[in-house]
Structure formats: structure tokens, C-alpha cells
């Protein structure tokens, strides 16, 4: 039998884990492939990493680069250096990267310089805002990678505008939604709202971690005030990212918040919480898509989104920094239920299959 095609899959930070999980499962099913998993260690707390591996049944990484936190330059450079060593030691036939975190860019750069082809899953998304570190990561990764797997039609338009050849772009759907659909039943059975003393469809779930919201004390104070006001009308629950926890501590608020803060939740608990929420407030990228898939209204506390289909077809509304608009949109959701939305094309749980089909064909796996 021919040798198996060797894939190196890379994941580093929380939003990568739900994207890599269904791809690994699909690769595992195909006799033509074998894979190794590298965890860069960008996220390292159990609540940001190990809990996700457990919830999602992701195998133990073959290698953990243990890069940890640092400035953008430091973190990216350390992943680049360490993953290059790994690629030289165990040269794969292709590398698969997902999303837009610093680890995504660093792994891509290391691989392409060694002439190892790279597949980028979730390519072509553009917020148009280069002050977001993720936007720079997306642009750089897409410029040099070989396969560009997209989640929505706007991504293909962005890539074509940037001069990417049509045959490198593959519209396959959304691997994060593969994971959501595979786990939604299990997550609902956990009864997360009840465990937190909440009534299903009668609470707001919040996440905030972007530098634009949490690194500016005045902005963070405004947001906390808005959450206090919302909590007067409907209970607010807020699992707090470590970056945000540190920023709130710095504010030295005179009194503890009246709304409920929690440690970051694992994948299933968080999905269980969001699936039954009346309303989600967030600055996350992925959660805009997850709420659209679940039909839960989402108010996004950012000026732009790289995922416009969630606005055009889904349940998402962009709020930006406008606190009056936030109030008006909250009113709309609480009184009328908010945007209903529909499920975007190919967000059907089969994206990983389509991706691995393309890789199988192009790499001649199993032949
Ligand atoms: C990273 C991604 C962002 C993604 C987010 C999800 C980049 C540029 N950003 O942002 O796109 O939406 O992950 O969480 O790659 N920290 C811990 N424990 C951890 C990880 C981080 O305490 O396990 C703290 C550290 O103080 C660290 C800070 O969080 O300095 C920020 O972590 P970092 O990985 O730099 O970026 P995120 O804000 O998590």
C-alpha cells in the first residue's frame, strides 16, 4: 500500500480548538492520511485549552511548543522559531492552519519558507480594520498559503480582489459549525442555565476580550455600566477571559459588579449557556457565527465585522461604540425577540469533509 499522506495540524488558542477538532476526526477516518497535532501553547490555562481538548475529544497533541503569552512580536517569533524546528524534524506533506490568531500566521510562515504547502481554513475574512491583530494575521496568511478554504461568499470576493487565483479558493462552509452541530444536543442536556439558577430564554450572555474594548479603561467602564443597566432588566452572565479579568482588576471598581461573572467556561458549558440565551453581547468573531447558527440574537460590540453574512442573513447586529444604539437594540430584542435570521449556505456540519476531499484529491492521498 502507498505511504500515507502526512498532515501537520496546528492549533494554539481557544478559538482554534473547535475548528481543528472536526478536521482531525475526518483525517482520522481516511486511510490515505495520517496526522500529527502541534499545540503552540499560545493559550495554556486549563480553562482556555485543556478543557476544550477534553470536551471536543481532541487527541493529546504530539508536540506542545509551550510558547505562552507575550507581545505580538515575541509570541509570533517564538511560534515561528519552534514550529520550524518541528517541521524540519518531521517534514509533513502539508500543514493545516485555522482561524486568525498569532499561531496561525507564525505556523504558515514557517511552513511556506520550507516549501511545505499550507491549507488555511477560514480564509478570506476581512474586517477592513488593520488595528485588529487578527486582520493582519488573516492578510498575511492568505497571501502565502496554498489552499484557501472559505466559510462565506464575501471571503471569496475579498480574496479575488486581492489577486488570489480562483482555483486556490474553495467555498466549503464552516468547520466551527460542524463542531457546534455535533455537540449542541449534548450541550443542551447539561442544563447549564438551570445549574446557574437562570430561566432558559430569560438571560443575556456576555463575552468581551478584544483590546479595543478592554484595554481602554474609559471604554471598559462604559461597557460595565451598560451591563449593570441591562442586568436590571434581565439577568446578565459574563464568563470572563483572563485578559479582561486583568483589565477589570486594574479599574479598581469601588463596588463589585451586580451582574454575574464566571471563570471562562469549557466548550460544552458555554454552548449550553449560549444556546438558551435570550440575547448575546460580544466582541468575539466566532460567537457571531455560533449565535447565527443557533438563532440567538447577537449584539456585537465592535465597529466592523469580518463575518458580514451574520449581519445579512444571520441574527447579528453591529453596535460599534454607540451606547445609545446599544440601548435601542437591547430594547428591540427584549420587546420583540430581535433578528430571526437564517442559516447560511453550507453551514451544515459537512465542511470538514469537503476540505479533506480537496486535500485528498490535490495531494493524491491514498493512491
Ligand atoms: C487570542 C487571539 C484572538 C482570539 C482570542 C480568544 C491573537 C492575536 N489573538 O487573544 O484572536 O479571539 O485569543 O481567546 O492571536 N492569558 C492567560 N491564560 C491563557 C491565555 C492568555 O492568562 O491561557 C492571558 C495572558 O495574560 C495574555 C492575555 O491573556 O497576555 C492575552 O492572551 P493572548 O494569547 O496574547 O491573546 P488573547 O487576548 O487571548
Residues 169 and 188 in one domain: no
Provide the pLDDT for residue 256. 87
Provide the pLDDT for residue 2. 67
Residues 147 and 108 in one domain: yes
CA distance linking residue 67 with residue 239, whole number of Å? 25
- For residues 95 and 73, the answer to whether their CB atoms sit within 8 Å is no
Give the residue carrying C-alpha cell 488558542: 13
- For residues 110 and 84, the answer to whether their CB atoms sit within 8 Å is yes
Residues 231 and 142 in one domain: no
Residues 120 and 248 in one domain: no
Backbone dihedral angles phi then psi of residue 37, each to the nearest 5 degrees = -115, 125
Which atom of ligand 1 is found nearest the CA of 100?
Answer: 11
Residues 351 and 291 in one domain: no
**What is the SS3 assignment for 205?**
strand
Residue 324 is assigned to a structural domain of this protein: yes
**What is the SS3 assignment for 245?**
helix
Provide the pLDDT for residue 366. 72
Angle at 305 between CA 156 and CA 103, to 5 degrees: 75
- For residues 277 and 270, the answer to whether their CB atoms sit within 8 Å is no
Assign residue 298 the CATH number of its domain. 3.40.50.2000
Ligand 1: residues with CB < 6 A are 13-15, 42-45, 48, 69, 100-102, 133-134, 209, 241-243
Distance 43 CA to ligand 1 centre (A): 6
Catalytically active residues are: 209
CA distance linking residue 45 with residue 80, whole number of Å? 21
Mean pLDDT by 10 residues, the chain (367 residues): 89 98 98 97 97 97 98 98 98 98 98 98 97 97 98 98 98 98 97 97 97 95 96 97 95 91 97 98 98 98 97 97 94 92 98 98 88
Residues 250 and 165 in one domain: no
Residue span of the structural domain in which 14 resides: 5-173+347-363
CA distance linking residue 217 with residue 64, whole number of Å? 35
Residues 227 and 246 in one domain: yes
- For residues 289 and 155, the answer to whether their CB atoms sit within 8 Å is no
Residues 255 and 291 in one domain: yes
Residues 98 and 145 in one domain: yes
Residue owning the nearest CA to atom 30 of ligand 1: 69
Provide the pLDDT for residue 337. 83
Amino acid at each position: 500500500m502507498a505511504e500515507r499522506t502526512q498532515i501537520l495540524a496546528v492549533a494554539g488558542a481557544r478559538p482554534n480548538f473547535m475548528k481543528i477538532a472536526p478536521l482531525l476526526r475526518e483525517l482520522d477516518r481516511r486511510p490515505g492520511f495520517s496526522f500529527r497535532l502541534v499545540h503552540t501553547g499560545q493559550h495554556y490555562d486549563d480553562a482556555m485549552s485543556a478543557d476544550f481538548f477534553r470536551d471536543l475529544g481532541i487527541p493529546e497533541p504530539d508536540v506542545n511548543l509551550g510558547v505562552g503569552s507575550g507581545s505580538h512580536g515575541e509570541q509570533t517569533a517564538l511560534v515561528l522559531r519552534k514550529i520550524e524546528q518541528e517541521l524540519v524534524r518531521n517534514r509533513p506533506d502539508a500543514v493545516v492552519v485555522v482561524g486568525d490568531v498569532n499561531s496561525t500566521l507564525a505556523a504558515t510562515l514557517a511552513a511556506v519558507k520550507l516549501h511545505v504547502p499550507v491549507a488555511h481554513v477560514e480564509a478570506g475574512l476581512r474586517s477592513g480594520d488593520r488595528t485588529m491583530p487578527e486582520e493582519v494575521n488573516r492578510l498575511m496568511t492568505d497571501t502565502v498559503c496554498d489552499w484557501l478554504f472559505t466559510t462565506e461568499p464575501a471571503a471569496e470576493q475579498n480574496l479575488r480582489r486581492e489577486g488570489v487565483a480562483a482555483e486556490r479558493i474553495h467555498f466549503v462552509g464552516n468547520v466551527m459549525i460542524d463542531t457546534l452541530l455535533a455537540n449542541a444536543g449534548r450541550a443542551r442536556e447539561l442544563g447549564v442555565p438551570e445549574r446557574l439558577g437562570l430561566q432558559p430564554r430569560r438571560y443575556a450572555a456576555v463575552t468581551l476580550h478584544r483590546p479595543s474594548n478592554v484595554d481602554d479603561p474609559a471604554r471598559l467602564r462604559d461597557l460595565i455600566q451598560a451591563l449593570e443597566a441591562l442586568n436590571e432588566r434581565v439577568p446578565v452572565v459574563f464568563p470572563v477571559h483572563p485578559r479582561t479579568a486583568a483589565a477589570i482588576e486594574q479599574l479598581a471598581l469601588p463596588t463589585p459588579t451586580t451582574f454575574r461573572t464566571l471563570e471562562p467556561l469549557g466548550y460544552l458549558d458555554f454552548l449550553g449557556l449560549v444556546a438558551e440565551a435570550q440575547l448575546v453581547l460580544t466582541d468575539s468573531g466566532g460567537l457571531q457565527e455560533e449565535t447565527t447558527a443557533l438563532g440567538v440574537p447577537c449584539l456585537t460590540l465592535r465597529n466592523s465585522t469580518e463575518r458580514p453574512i451574520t449581519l445579512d442573513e444571520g441574527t447579528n447586529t453591529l453596535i460599534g461604540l454607540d451606547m445609545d444604539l446599544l440601548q435601542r437594540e437591547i430594547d428591540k430584542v427584549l420587546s420583540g425577540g430581535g433578528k430571526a435570521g437564517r442559516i447560511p449556505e453550507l453551514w451544515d456540519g459537512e465542511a470538514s469533509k469537503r476540505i479533506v476531499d480537496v486535500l485528498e484529491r490535490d495531494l493524491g492521498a491514498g493512491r
